[in-house]
Structure 1
Amino acid sequence: MGEHRYHVVLNANAGTANATGVTKAGLQAIFEANGLQAEIDADPSQPMTDRVARAVSSAADIVVAAGGDGTITALAAALVDSPKSLAILPLGTVNALAKDLKVPLDLAMAVKSLVTATPQSIDVGEVNGRVFLHKVVIGLIPAVAAGRERIRSNQTMAAKLGLLRYFLRRIARTRRLAVVIDTDMSDAKAERVQAIAVASNAYNEGFGQFFHRENLDRGTLTLYVLKHFTFADLVRLTGGMLLGRWRDDEALRVESITKATIRSHKALLKVMFDGEVETMHTPLEFRIRPLALSVLTPVEVGTPVAPELTGATP
């Protein structure tokens, strides 16, 4: 795929990028070492919306998201139904889509994999007109994540213990959320729930598989409804996930759908949107957009050509 042109949006503030000191010059050197022509946008002073717009309007046929899940989702949303393909260099903390696509988490190997990668069309989810790649969660989980953000920069043991205490307190004190869930597979139903997740496609069930999706092109959403969540539920569900039997837990309801509306008496709900906590207006209108995004999927990767990430030449 050396004849292709790449436009790279580098978010040097993403988790792994920041920790390893990835620079524009270092990344350019890796592309050149693999015979790839790339224009790299590494300007953090510009709004991400402007950088995304430049990437979409560039002459490149492949747009590369070099950052975390937020960077990837922003570029993916702009490339939906576009002739350009999205490639991923996973530089974030979670790297959810990269793991689903089996993109190497090592930067040099990820760039090398572009040489032989092939395009694949995948589904994307949409909520209130906004594209998501993984899942949208409401209820307990975003509240816990908001607490996690407050200590993200503090990795001491005391901070980690503080997060655990915070999490357990939230379990004990959080009230269930009153919602009406209406899907294309079932009638509207009013219920009180602890959390709801709507995912693009479905998470695997198998030994040791935590939130991994093998298939991204089945044209469905999956609705996960957590009806209650005590400490005992936490222990049981965690064990079930380790053993690959969590879908059958009595605290959890799982449905395959293509559309859903979630209503609440609250005008605004805190949600986790592809890993980022934000606030959205209700009702939440979900739908699946089948095969709407072209992504590059790596094939077998050999030994990378790996100049120093912070050097200008190999």
Structure 2
Amino acid sequence: MTLPTADAPFFVVLNPGSGRDDAHETKALIERVLTEAGRAHEVLMCAGTPVPQVAMKAVERACAEGGIVVAAGGDGTINAVVQAVLGRGCALGVLPQGTFNYFGRVHGIPLDTEAATRALLDATVEPVQVGQVNDRVFIVNASVGLYPQLLEDREAYKQRYGRHRLVALWSAVVTLFRAHRPLRMVMRCGGEERNVRTLTLFVGNNPLQLRQIGLPEAPLIGGGRLAAVMLRPVGTLPLLRLLLQGALGRLGEADDVLSFPFEELSARPALPRRRAMVKVAVDGEIIQLRAPLRFAAAPEPLPLLVPRHPQPVA
């Protein structure tokens, strides 16, 4: 890609559904900082319009004017913008607005919107690995089985009780008390094919998230490698213990957890139906993809604006 110029305009995709602050206040803050810096910009709000549609508009404008696309939202919003940006030759900036903000945090981007906006002004462009499942990118993780159900329930609880980590934890506890049918899958990795039974298949691309839950594969992410995590079929109480171990950063010590790094992995239902569709969680968004599912790092890295003085990763 061609590196953006020092005065390249910003095209900000702002999702009003992300974050706790009023979207109009956030928009005004971003515009004030960029105006004071004398930087050309446009903030495109997603109110009433799907994020992917707004993201495509921003990418078209950025490609035509030598600009930079900026995603202002949580990891799901950033994912939609990355999907539009990747392979188009323009760089991406990020203003984290979500609950966990794994993508922004792992790259040292401030969580404070004003600080993150100022950091865009002298940021450097670095190539960043993103994952891919079939034709969909993911920046943090993609999964099938129990984990998508956890996410669906978490979103329902957030709609009722607000976006808070304690709400997310409580919704997970409630979900785990339900009965769960194990997945029966045929998995191919490293030239070997085997049948597996698992409650969930989780594929991670974010070392911060993996490190926080205590998986040894965290430092191996990158260079074309992702990490797979599978849970053996267990009952409710063992599942609750696994949840606690993850919260304490000790999931890698659990006997019922299998994790390993890989470069390419495919998975399909062991009893395939014609044109079988699989529910997949991609960076917190639930989608349907046709089996087999093929996980790998995207062939092209993402050109990401990284702060010249990154925040410590925490």
* 1:307 alignment partner in structure 2: none
Deviation at 1:44, TM superposition (A): 2.1
Q: How does 1:103-118 map to 2 (within 5 A)?
A: 103-118=109-124
Match of 1:249 in 2: 254
- Give per-residue Cα distances to partners, 1:113-145, cap 9 Å, x unaligned: 112211110111111211111111111121122
Match of 2:284 in 1: 275
Q: In the alignment, what sits opposite 1:305?
A: none
Would you say 1:8 and 2:17 are equivalent positions?
no
Q: Which letter does structure 1 place at the counterpart of 2:9? A: R
Moved more, 75-84 or 21-30: 21-30
**Contact 1:80 1:293 (C-alpha < 8 Å) held by counterparts:** yes
- What is the TM-score with the length of structure 1 in the denominator? 0.82
CA–CA distance in structure 2, aligned partners of residues 211 and 77 of structure 1: 29
SS of alignment partner, residue 105 of structure 1: coil
- Partners in 2 of 1:268 and 1:139 — Cα distance? 13
Find 1:163's aligned residue among 156, 160, 171. 171
- Please give the alpha-carbon distance, in whole angstroms, between the structure 1 residues aligned to 2:226 and 2:98: 25
Structure 1 segment 41-120 matched on structure 2, within 5 A: 41-42=44-45, 44-58=47-61, 59-120=65-126
Structure 2 length normalisation: TM-score? Answer: 0.82
The residue that corresponds to 1:298 in the other structure is 307
Residue 142 of structure 1 contacts residue 271 of structure 1 at CA under 8 Å; is this kept in 2?
yes
Judged with a 3 Å threshold, the aligned counterparts in structure 2 of structure 1 residues 252 and 77 are, in CA distance, closer, same or farther, namely same
Residue matched to 2:298: 289
Q: What RMSD over aligned residues (CA atoms) do the two structures have, in Å? A: 3.1
Q: What's the CA shift string for 1:258-309, capped at 9, x where partnerless?
A: 111111136222221111123322211222125521101113279xxxxxxx
Separation in structure 2 between the aligned mates of residue 122 and residue 104 of structure 1, nearest angstrom: 17
- Secondary structure (helix, strand or coil) at the match of 2:105 reads helix
| SS of aligned partner of 2:177 | helix
What is the percentage of aligned positions where both structures have the same residue?
Answer: 28
Task: Show structure 1 runs of 5+ residues with no match.
Answer: 303-314
Deviation at 1:43, TM superposition (A): 5.1
State the partner residue of 2:232. 227
Out of 150, 158, 163, the position equivalent to 1:152 is: 158
In the superposition, relative to structure 1, how do residues 74 and 27 fare at CA in structure 2: closer, same or farther (>3 Å)? same
**Letter aligned with residue 246 of structure 1:** L
Distance 1:215 1:29, change over 3 A: farther
Pairing partner for 1:128 from 120, 129, 134: 134
- CA shift at 1:62, angstroms? 1.3
Of stretches 28-37 and 42-51 in structure 1, the one that deviates more from structure 2 is 42-51
1:41 positional shift? 1.3
Distance in structure 2 (CA, Å) of the matches to 1:163 and 1:261: 30
* Whole-angstrom distance in 2 between the partners of 1:207 and 1:162: 18
Structure 2: how far apart are the matches of 1:164 and 1:207?
17
Counterpart code for 1:289: A
How far is 1:226 from its partner? 1.3
> What residue is the counterpart of 1:177 in the other structure?
183
Q: In the alignment, residue 10 of structure 1 is paired with which amino acid?
A: L
Cα deviation code 1:192-222 (max 9, x no counterpart): 1011111226557657769996776421121
Question: Gaps (5+ residues) in structure 2?
Answer: none
2-structure distance, mates of 1:212, 1:94: 20
1:32 shift after superposition: 1.6
Structure 1 counterpart SS, 2:25: coil
Classify 1:198/1:205 alpha carbon distance in 2 versus 1 (closer, same or farther; 3 Å).
Answer: closer
- Contact 2:147/2:200 (8 A) holds in 1: yes
Query: Could you say if the C-alpha distance between residues 237 and 249 of structure 1 is closer, same or farther in structure 2, counting changes exceeding 3 Å?
Result: farther
Which of 229-238 and 63-72 deviates more? 229-238
Alpha-carbon deviation of 1:21? 4.8
* In 1: Cα distance, 2:279 partner to 2:258 partner: 21
Matched residue type, 1:49: P
Contact 2:73 2:96 in 1 (8 A): yes
The higher-RCO structure (CA 8 Å, 6+ apart) is 1
The count of aligned residue pairs is 296
